[in-house]
Homo-oligomer: A and B are copies of this chain.
Amino acid sequence: MELEARVPLVPPFPTTEFHDRVERMRRAMRIHELDAVLLTSEANVEYLSGFWTLFAWNSLSRPWYFVLPLDEEPIGVIPEFGESNWRNTSWVERLVVWPSPRPEDEGISLLVDIFRGLRRRFGRIGAELGPETRLGMPVADFLRLSAEIRPLQMVDATAAFRQVRQIKSPAEVERVATICRIADEAFAALPSYFVAGESERALAQKFQADLILRGAEKTPYVAMSSGLNGYLSGSTWPGDRVIAQGDVVIIDTGSRLGGYFCDFNRNFAVGRVSDEVRRAQAALVAAASAGIAAARPGTTMSELFHIQLAALESRGMSCGPVGRFGHGLGKLMTEWPSIKSDDCSVLLAGMIITIEPSVLLSSGRPMLHEEDIVITSDGCRVLTRRAEPELLVLSA
């Protein structure tokens, strides 16, 4: 087989972009009364420091830290052998390293010294402790750090991270738009290599390889499921099931480029599918259209949920199993907020979200549909190539 790769152009973020992020973060830190924030996750470390590393986030052997004080120079605190990589990718010059692995003191004494030496205004250090965050260090180390810096307090800074990260710059929007375009092209090419009688896994492997050859830097999420009257689930690994005549097939991908994700699916019909599946697809696309039409600064998540639900119900469909009809998107495949019945978060210009209605068919099986949009000053821009109300066709 001959392999050819296209390398999409991804202009690097200028240093001013990071300065702007830091300034907005510090504004949030003042509101939330934080003397510094401690970042440990890929999304937050990349977002503020620009440190671009593959190894750090694929190995739990060593933690990697970034500290942003309120009014002192930011500091990378990383394992020694990552120094050249840091110097080559981050705008941040102040760097402290230790020889790692060293489980008995994996950077903790360095963090203690830094936090003790901080100018104190509030006596609080923010960390990734709240909803939709995971701490990128062993919790035992976090508890030790918290104890050793008393009376300084480690507190949750999720609200501050969320407030800053959810508003995307034009350069961030461009990256999401580019990976959406790559996935659009990959969905369009899929029928060209589908082979009758192949398994979900075989088809998914080709789709994933195609995404990468078109320029995705990684494709951690390629979900696939197939079935006669709706698929088993919209979010599972492709299985050994042979895709058969009359099936509806969902393919969903969270692929990444330059640190930014797309997240959307397409539904395919293998030959002729049931009337209910076709009606469901049309209802899902109509619900997405209703959501997209309502998406503008000021709209609440609750409104976006009920608008989509009404569009589905007016077509005789019942609400799907996902628990929400879309979510934030950017440095992660799923970010705050959730398009939920009881969520009063408000859309703001610069937010990127997915619109993702889902239904349950009479078989008890789900179907879903997803598009990615960015909120503009007076509405939204759709970043994906909109799906049609008719299913895409795979012919044997």
Secondary structure call for the A interface: loop
Say yes or no: is A314 at the interface (Cβ < 8 Å to chain B): no
| Tally of chain A residues near chain B (CB < 8 A) | 81
Could you give 5 example pairs across A and B, Cβ below 8 Å? A59-B333, A85-B236, A130-B140, A209-B210, A220-B220
Q: Which residues of B contact A237 (CB under 8 A)?
A: 52-54, 217
Say yes or no: is A377 at the interface (Cβ < 8 Å to chain B): no
Q: Which residues of B contact A52 (CB under 8 A)?
A: 236-237
Q: Please determine whether A131 and B103 come into contact, CB atoms closer than 8 angstroms.
A: yes
- Residue-wise interface mask of A (198-226) relative to B, using a CB-CB cutoff of 8 A (1 in contact, 0 not): 11011101101110110101111111000
Q: Please determine whether B236 and A53 come into contact, CB atoms closer than 8 angstroms.
A: yes
Q: Which residues of B contact A61 (CB under 8 A)?
A: 132, 327, 334, 338
List the 4 closest pairs (A to B, CB-CB), nearest first.
A55-B235, A209-B209, A5-B205, A103-B131
**Complex copy number for this chain:** 2
Q: Please determine whether A135 and B130 come into contact, CB atoms closer than 8 angstroms.
A: no
Q: Which residues of B contact A324 (CB under 8 A)?
A: 101
Q: Please determine whether A1 and B236 come into contact, CB atoms closer than 8 angstroms.
A: no
- Residue-wise interface mask of A (129-151) relative to B, using a CB-CB cutoff of 8 A (1 in contact, 0 not): 11111111111101100000000
Residues of chain A in range 88-113 having any CB-CB distance to chain B below 8 Å: 88, 99-101, 103, 106
In the assembled complex, the Cα of A215 lies from the Cα of B238 at a distance in Å of: 12
In the assembled complex, the Cα of A137 lies from the Cα of B4 at a distance in Å of: 40
Of A76-84, A268-276, A384-392, the one contacting chain B is: A76-84
Closest Cβ of chain B: how far from A127's Cβ, in Å?
Answer: 8
Q: Please determine whether B58 and A220 come into contact, CB atoms closer than 8 angstroms.
A: yes
Say yes or no: is A7 at the interface (Cβ < 8 Å to chain B): yes
Known: A140-B129, A156-B140. A5 touches B209 (CB 8 A): yes
Residue in A60, A80, A327 with the greatest tally of chain B CB atoms within 10 Å: A60
Closest Cβ of chain B: how far from A16's Cβ, in Å?
Answer: 21
In the assembled complex, the Cα of A52 lies from the Cα of B201 at a distance in Å of: 14
Q: With A1-B4, A61-B327 given, can you name 20 additional A-B contacts, CB distance below 8 Å? A: A5-B202, A7-B240, A54-B236, A55-B223, A55-B236, A58-B220, A58-B254, A58-B334, A60-B134, A61-B334, A61-B338, A80-B323, A101-B338, A130-B138, A133-B139, A134-B134, A138-B158, A205-B212, A217-B237, A220-B220
In the assembled complex, the Cα of A208 lies from the Cα of B217 at a distance in Å of: 9
Say yes or no: is A232 at the interface (Cβ < 8 Å to chain B): yes
